[in-house]
Amino acid sequence: MANYFDLKSLSTYSHLSVKTLRKYLSELSHYRVGGKILVKQSDFDEWIERFRKEPRVIEIENLLAKISKV
């Protein structure tokens, strides 16, 4: 069974403000039902993954090498 959030509930789930969520509505799959905006949890989770940043391993290794020389 799919979970759907209104913007207030999605704000609680995501720790983003309702204002920020409204800003991204053009990029985020959503439904308008009776004037209410609903977002499917799996659609939100997929969308937010686009913002994921992977650690830069090479930079960390270089920093550790510099520290060990000191």
**C-beta separation of 31 from 5 below 8 A:** no
pLDDT of residue 61: 74
The domain containing residue 41 runs over which residues? 4-69
pLDDT of residue 6: 97
The sign of the dihedral angle between the CA atoms of 39, 17, 14, 27 is positive
Poorest-confidence range of 21-25, 34-38, 65-69?
65-69
Share of the chain above pLDDT 90, in %: 69
If one counts the domains in the chain, the total is: 1
Burial 48-57 (b: 16+ CB within 10 A, else e): eeeeeeeeee
pLDDT tens, 3-32?
Answer: 999 999 999 999 999 999 999 999 999 999
